[in-house]
C-alpha cells in the first residue's frame, strides 16, 4: 500500500504509475491458443474431447456426453438450500427488472417526399457464455451474463463451464436454470471458445461470446474476435472509494478488502481530504485482514497495489477519480448526488455510506461486468445493448432518389467513384 | 464471378467458401507496428516527426507545424465549388438529423424503500478520427465519423490525416470544418494511431479512435485497443442485392459495380429466383465495366469475388442473405417491406428499386460505416452510441441496504468471498 498526497510535486507521475496496467500479450500463450483454435476448427468434436481429457482430466466418448441435461439444471435449483435459492431468485429478479429498462426499440420516420429512414433493433440469434470452473465458479456471474442476453431476446444461450475432474458447482447450474440458459456443456479453456466460435458437430456456432476466463480464455476470445463478437477483455478488478471521513473506518476497510480478495492484482484506492480518515482505515485494514478466509490473496493485493490518496477537497477527489476512471466508484459521503456532476468516468457508482459495492456485485440489479483498467472512459457495463444489434433502414421514394441522387452523384464524382455516381444518376429523372 | 444454384447439393459448401473471409494477421506488419507504437510512446513528438518524414516525405521542425490551423479549414470550405459545398452541406445536415435520433438519455427509478437505481449516459471526452490520405481521402468518411461523435456531445475531436508529400484534399478539410472537427494534424500510419492512443507533447491522448486505414493503421488500432476504444476493424466492402427480376438490369449491374470499384477484395452478390435476371445483369456488367474509371479494380473484384445466386423463391433469398449477413443489403423488389421480417442480419437495408446503395454512402443520413464480413450478425453501424458510455448508479437506502445486504451476504458466502459478505453484513441492522 502506498500513500499519496496531491500536494506533492510528483503526484501526477505517481498516480500514472499506480494505475498503469497493461495486459501484455504472452507469445507462448498465444502460440498454444493458436494451435487449439486451429485443431478445433479442423477436427471439431474430436479436438475438443482430446483437450478436455488432457486439461480437465475429463474423459468422454462423445461431446454429447459432456452436455448437461436440462433435468440436471432443474434438479440443481430444486436441491439448493432454501436461503440460497431465495437469494439467487431475488438477484435474478432484480437483475432482470433493471435490465428490462435497457431494451432499445426500433424507430422510423418519413420525410415529405415519401423517403423513409429508420433503425431496426434485433437480438443476436445465439450467444455463448463462458463460466470459469472449479473454485472460481461464480453463480452471480452466470446471472449477470445470461439475463441481459435473455432480456434482449437472444433465442439460444449456450453456456460452457469446465468441470475439472468432473466437479461442477450446483449453484452455477442452478443459476443457469434461473437465468434461462438453453444448453450447458462441461468444456472450458481455449477449446471451448473455439467450439463456440467455429461450431463443431455437437456445439453450435454462436454470434457472440461473453464471460470471464483465465489468460488462455481471454487470448482465445481476442483471437476469434471478428468471426464472433466478444465482450471486453477484463483486467483486474478495482475499487475507488471517496470518503468524507464520516463513515465507520471498518466499513470502508472491508469495502476496500472486498476488491482485494478477488485476486492478487486487484486494486483498492481510498481518496479523502481527511488525513485522519486514511490513517484510521489503514489501521482497520491491518486489523481485518487476518480475519478473512482469503487473507493471503487480499494481503498481497493490498500490499502491492492499494493506495490511500490525500487530496485538498471533494472537487479534487472527483478530478482524481475521473482521471483513474475506476470500475467501481464508492461515494461514501453525506451527499453523493452533489459529487455526481463532477464525475464522468466510472463503471458503476455506489452512492452513500450504505451502498456497499458488494450489493452491486450480487443483488442491486445493475450489471457487475464493468469496464476495468481505465476503460470506463470509453466503455460501458455489460448490458442488453450488447446483445442487440442495429440495422439502418433506407427507403428512397422516386422523388427522394431524384433529389438525393443529385447530391450523391456530385459527392461520388468528388471522390472519383464513377460507379457510385452513375448508380445514383440512374435514379435521377431525365430532363431535370 | 461464379454462379450458384441453391438446388445443387454442394450449395451450402459453395456459399461458405464464397463468404469465408479471414483478416489474418501479418507477423511482419505486427512487428513493425509494435516498434512504431513503442517509439512514439517513449519519444513522443520526436518519433512521430521521424516516421512522418520517412513514410510521408513530410519534413517539419515540430509537430505543431503539422497542425492545420482552423482558418485553413474554413478557407477550404469557402473555396469549394458551390455545387460541392451544397452537396456536402446537405449530406452533413441529413447525417446530423438522422443521428440525433440515436442519442441515449440517462434514466433512474426509485423503489419503495428509497433505493435508487439508474443509468447515466455521458459522452466520451475526446475522440480521434483517422482519415486516410492521398487519393483514398474521402470527405464522406469525415462526415460519417465526426458527426455522430459531435451529436453525442464529444468535447474535442482530433482528426489525423496523412499528407504524403504535403498533398491534402481540400474536400476533406472542408468536411472537417462542416462536421465540427476541433483539431487536425497531418500525420498518418501507425505513428498517428500511437500519438492519439498515448498522447505526445503536442497531440493530446484520446479516449477512442475511429476511422478506416490501411493494414498498418488497422493493426495499430487492434494493438492499442484496451488503452483506448476503437471501432470495428473493417473488412472489404460487400453488397448483396435481392432482385425480383423487374428492375432495369443496368441499375442492378451498376449497384453491384459500385461495390466492386472500392477495392479488389470487395464483394458483390446478386440473388434472384429469376434465372433470366441473373443472365441479364451479368451481361450488363460486362457492358458497363469498360465504361468505369476504376475498371481494373472493379473487374478484378467482379472476377474473383462476385456471385450470382439462383434461389427457389423470395423466402430462400432472405434465408441466404441472412446467413451471409451482408454489410449492404439492397431489396430491389416491388414490396421490400414484405421481406423485412425474414431478414435479421445486415448493416443497412436499401429498400426498393430507387434506393441505390450510393445514396446511403453519401446523403441519406444513416451511417456508411457498417459491419463487414458477416459481423452484422452481432454488431451495428457506427452511431452516436459508439461515442456515449453508460455508468450504473446505485443508491441503497438504509432499509434497502439491510434487505439487499442479507441476500448479498448469502450469495457471497456461497462464493467463498468473506470480505464481500462482511462488507454487506455491516449494513444489516443488528438484532433483525
| pLDDT mean over A32-37 | 95
Question: pTM of the prediction?
Answer: 0.95
Catalytic residue among A99, A262, A328, A368: A328
3-class SS letters over A315-336:
HHHHHHHHHHCCCEEEEECCCH
What is the pLDDT, as a whole number, of residue A199? 97
Using the Cβ of B397 and the Cβ atoms of chain A, whether some distance falls under 8 Å is answered with yes
* Percentage with pLDDT > 70 across chain B: 98
What is the bridge-based pairing of β-strands A116-123 and A107-110? antiparallel
Q: Domains plus CATH for chain A?
A: 2-23+235-364 (3.40.50.1980), 27-230 (3.40.50.1980), 396-425 (no CATH)
| pLDDT mean over B358-371 | 95
Q: How far off is chain A from B144, nearest CA to CA, in Å?
A: 13
Confidence label for B236 from pLDDT (cuts 50, 70 and 90) = confident
Torsion (CA) B76, B77, B83, B88 in degrees, nearest 10: 120
B contact residues 254-273, partner A, Cβ 8 Å cutoff: 254-255, 257-258, 260-262
Predicted confidence (pLDDT) at residue B8 exceeds the cutoff of 70:
yes
Q: Cβ-count burial of A42 within 10 angstroms (0-12 exposed, 13-18 middle, 19+ buried)?
A: exposed
Q: Which long-range contacts (CB under 8 A, 24 or more apart) does B3-7 make?
A: B3/B278, B3/B307, B3/B308, B3/B309, B3/B310, B4/B307, B4/B308, B4/B309, B4/B310, B5/B309, B5/B310, B6/B309, B6/B310, B6/B311, B6/B312, B6/B316, B6/B320, B7/B310, B7/B312
Per-residue pLDDT of B331-359, as tens digits, reads 999 999 999 999 999 999 999 999 999 99
Nearest CA in chain B to A351: B395
What b-and-e string marks burial along A404-422, b requiring 16 or more CB atoms within 10 Å of the CB? bbbbbbbbbbbbebbbbbb
Q: How far off is chain B from A134, nearest CA to CA, in Å?
A: 11
Whether residue A156 contacts residue A124, with contact meaning beta carbons closer than 8 Å, is answered with no
The interaxial angle of helices A170-179 and A70-78, nearest 10 deg, is: 110
Element (H, E) at B148: helix B139-152
Separation of alpha carbons A359 and A126, rounded Å? 30
- Report the helix count and the strand count for chain B, using DSSP H and E: 17, 15
- The whole-angstrom distance between residue B127's C-alpha and the CA centroid of its chain comes to 14
Using the Cβ of A396 and the Cβ atoms of chain B, whether some distance falls under 8 Å is answered with yes
What is the pLDDT, as a whole number, of residue A20? 79
Average pLDDT, whole number, for chain A?
A: 94
Separation of alpha carbons A369 and A166, rounded Å? 27
Separation of alpha carbons A377 and A389, rounded Å? 22
Per-residue pLDDT of B170-222, as tens digits, reads 999 999 999 999 999 999 999 999 999 999 999 999 999 999 988 899 999 98
Helix, strand, coil shares, percent, chain B, to 5: 50, 15, 35
Work out the angle at residue B18's Cα, subtended by the Cα atoms of residues B12 and B19, and round it to the nearest 5 degrees: 95
Nearest CA in chain A to B95: A117
Average pLDDT, whole number, for chain B?
A: 94
Q: In what order do the strands lie in the sheet with A67-68?
A: A67-68, A183-185, A156-160, A126-130, A208-210, A229-230
- Grid coordinates representing A126 are 445465439
Whether residue B191 contacts residue B128, with contact meaning beta carbons closer than 8 Å, is answered with no
Residues of B in contact with A379 (CB under 8 A): 229, 389
Q: How far off is chain A from B329, nearest CA to CA, in Å?
A: 10
Separation of alpha carbons B393 and B374, rounded Å? 35
Residues of B in contact with A398 (CB under 8 A): 354
DSSP labels, A53-116: HHHH----SSGGGGEEPHHHHHHHHHTS-HHHHHHHHHHHHHHHHHHGGG----EEEE-TTS-E
Per-residue pLDDT of A73-88, as tens digits, reads 999 999 999 999 999 9
Separation of alpha carbons B318 and B321, rounded Å? 5
Using the Cβ of B135 and the Cβ atoms of chain A, whether some distance falls under 8 Å is answered with yes
Q: Residue B115: what are its φ and ψ, rounded to 5°?
A: -70, 140
Q: Are the Cβ atoms of B419 and A374 closer than 8 angstroms?
A: no
Per-residue pLDDT of A141-179, as tens digits, reads 999 999 999 999 999 999 999 998 888 899 999 999 999
Separation of alpha carbons A349 and B396, rounded Å? 11
Using the Cβ of A421 and the Cβ atoms of chain B, whether some distance falls under 8 Å is answered with yes
Cross-chain CB nearest to A405 (options B98, B135, B359): B359
Whether residue A258 contacts residue A239, with contact meaning beta carbons closer than 8 Å, is answered with yes
Q: Residue B425: what are its φ and ψ, rounded to 5°?
A: -65, -35
Q: Are the Cβ atoms of B417 and A261 closer than 8 angstroms?
A: yes
Separation of alpha carbons A391 and A109, rounded Å? 14
What is the pLDDT, as a whole number, of residue B190? 97
- Grid coordinates representing A432 are 431535370
Our answer to whether residue A327 is catalytic in this structure is: yes
Separation of alpha carbons A229 and A206, rounded Å? 9
Using the Cβ of B110 and the Cβ atoms of chain A, whether some distance falls under 8 Å is answered with no
Predicted confidence (pLDDT) at residue B431 exceeds the cutoff of 60:
no
Residues of A in contact with B23 (CB under 8 A): 226
Separation of alpha carbons A192 and A159, rounded Å? 10
Cross-chain CB nearest to A362 (options B122, B352, B411): B411
What is the pLDDT, as a whole number, of residue A135? 62
Separation of alpha carbons A63 and A59, rounded Å? 10
Using the Cβ of B380 and the Cβ atoms of chain A, whether some distance falls under 8 Å is answered with yes
Nearest to B198 by CA among B149, B124, B128, B122: B128
> What are the CA-CA distances from residue B4 to residues A388, B45, B306, B330, B374 (Å)?
32, 54, 11, 19, 19
> What are the CA-CA distances from residue A311 to residues A252, A284, B398 (Å)?
17, 20, 28
Per-residue pLDDT of A245-260, as tens digits, reads 999 999 999 999 999 9
Residues A84, A89, A94, A96, CA torsion sign: positive
Interface mutation target, options A30, A103, A226, chain B, most CBs of B under 10 Å: A226
> What are the CA-CA distances from residue A23 to residues A218, A234, B135, B223, B353 (Å)?
10, 9, 37, 11, 50
Nearest to B41 by CA among B230, B227, B222: B227
Using the Cβ of A361 and the Cβ atoms of chain B, whether some distance falls under 8 Å is answered with yes
Q: Are the Cβ atoms of A363 and B408 closer than 8 angstroms?
A: yes
- On the CB side of B10, CA atoms within 13 Å amount to 5
Residue A70's contacts (CB-CB under 8 Å, 6 or more residues apart) are none
| pLDDT mean over B389-408 | 95
Lowest average pLDDT, out of A253-267, B83-97, B224-238, goes to B224-238
DSSP 8-state assignment for residue B205 = P
Helix boundaries (H) for A267-397:
275-288, 295-305, 314-324, 336-339, 357-362
Q: Are the Cβ atoms of A139 and B293 closer than 8 angstroms?
A: no
Our answer to whether residue A328 is catalytic in this structure is: yes
Separation of alpha carbons A365 and A98, rounded Å? 5
Whether residue A154 contacts residue A125, with contact meaning beta carbons closer than 8 Å, is answered with yes
Using the Cβ of B300 and the Cβ atoms of chain A, whether some distance falls under 8 Å is answered with no
Q: Across the strands, what pairs with B159?
A: B129, B184
Residue A137's contacts (CB-CB under 8 Å, 6 or more residues apart) are A131, A161, A168, A169, A171, A172
A contact residues 53-82, partner B, Cβ 8 Å cutoff: none
Lowest average pLDDT, out of A148-162, B147-161, B223-237, B400-414, goes to B223-237
* Percentage with pLDDT > 70 across chain A: 98
Catalytic residue among A67, A238, A327, A357: A327
Q: How far off is chain A from B102, nearest CA to CA, in Å?
A: 9
Q: Are the Cβ atoms of A298 and B336 closer than 8 angstroms?
A: no
Residues of B in contact with A152 (CB under 8 A): none
What is the pLDDT, as a whole number, of residue B20? 79
Whether residue A328 contacts residue A284, with contact meaning beta carbons closer than 8 Å, is answered with no
| A-B Cβ pairs (cutoff 8 Å, strict) | 365
Confidence label for A22 from pLDDT (cuts 50, 70 and 90) = low
Residues A31, A37, A41, A44, CA torsion sign: positive
Q: Are the Cβ atoms of A109 and B86 closer than 8 angstroms?
A: no
- On the CB side of B213, CA atoms within 13 Å amount to 28
| Residue numbers of B annotated as active site | 327-328
Amino acid at each position: 500500500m502506498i500513500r499519496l498526497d496531491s500536494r506533492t510535486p510528483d503526484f501526477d507521475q505517481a498516480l500514472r504509475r499506480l494505475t498503469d496496467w497493461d495486459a501484455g500479450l504472452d507469445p507462448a500463450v498465444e502460440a498454444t491458443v493458436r494451435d487449439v483454435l486451429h485443431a478445433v476448427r479442423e477436427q471439431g468434436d474430436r479436438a475438443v474431447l482430446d483437450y478436455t481429457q488432457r486439461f480437465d482430466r475429463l474423459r468422454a466418448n462423445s461431446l454429447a456426453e459432456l452436455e448437461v441435461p436440462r433435468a440436471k439444471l432443474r434438479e440443481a435449483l430444486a436441491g439448493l438450500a432454501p436461503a440460497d435459492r431465495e437469494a439467487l431468485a431475488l438477484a435474478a429478479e432484480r437483475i432482470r427488472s433493471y435490465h428490462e429498462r435497457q431494451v432499445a426499440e426500433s424507430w422510423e420516420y418519413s420525410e415529405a417526399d415519401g423517403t423513409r429512414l429508420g433503425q431496426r433493433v434485433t437480438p443476436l440469434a445465439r450467444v455463448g457464455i463462458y463460466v470459469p470452473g472449479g473454485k472460481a465458479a461464480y453463480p452471480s456471474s452466470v446471472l449477470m451474463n445470461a439475463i441481459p442476453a435473455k432480456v434482449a431476446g437472444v433465442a439460444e444461450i449456450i453456456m460452457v463451464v469446465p468441470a475439472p475432474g468432473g466437479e461442477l458447482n450446483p449453484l452455477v447450474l442452478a443459476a443457469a436454470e434461473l437465468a434461462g440458459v438453453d444448453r450447458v456443456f462441461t468444456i472450458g479453456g481455449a477449446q471451448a471458445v473455439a467450439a463456440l466460435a467455429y461450431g463443431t458437430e455437437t456445439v453450435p456456432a454462436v454470434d457472440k461470446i461473453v464471460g470471464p476466463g483465465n489468460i488462455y480464455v481471454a487470448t482465445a476470445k481476442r483471437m476469434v474476435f471478428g468471426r464472433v463478437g466478444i465482450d471486453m477483455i477484463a483486467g483486474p478488478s478495482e475499487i475507488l472509494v471517496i470518503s468524507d471521513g464520516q463513515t465507520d473506518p471498518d466499513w470502508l476497510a472491508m469495502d476496500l478488502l472486498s476488491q482485494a480478495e478477488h485476486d492478487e492484482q486487484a486494486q483498492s484506492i481510498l481518496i479523502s481530504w481527511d488525513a485522519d480518515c486514511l490513517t484510521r482505515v489503514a489501521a482497520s485494514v491491518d486489523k481485518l485482514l487476518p480475519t478473512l478466509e482469503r487473507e493471503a490473496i487480499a494481503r498481497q493485493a493490498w500490499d502491492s497495489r492499494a493506495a490511500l490518496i490525500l487530496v485538498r477537497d471533494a472537487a479534487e477527489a472527483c478530478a482524481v477519480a475521473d482521471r483513474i476512471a475506476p470500475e467501481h466508484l464508492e461515494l461514501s459521503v453525506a451527499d453523493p448526488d452533489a459529487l455526481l456532476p463532477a464525475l464522468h468516468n466510472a463503471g458503476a457508482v455506489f452512492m452513500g455510506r450504505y451502498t456497499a459495492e458488494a450489493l452491486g456485485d450480487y443483488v442491486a440489479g445493475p450489471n457487475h461486468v464493468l469496464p476495468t483498467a481505465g476503460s470506463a472512459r470509453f466503455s460501458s457495463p455489460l448490458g442488453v445493448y450488447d446483445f442487440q444489434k442495429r440495422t439502418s433502414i433506407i427507403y428512397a421514394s422516386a422523388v427522394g432518389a431524384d433529389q438525393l441522387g443529385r447530391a450523391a452523384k456530385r459527392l461520388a464524382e468528388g471522390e472519383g467513384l464513377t460507379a457510385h455516381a452513375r448508380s445514383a444518376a440512374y435514379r435521377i429523372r431525365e430532363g431535370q
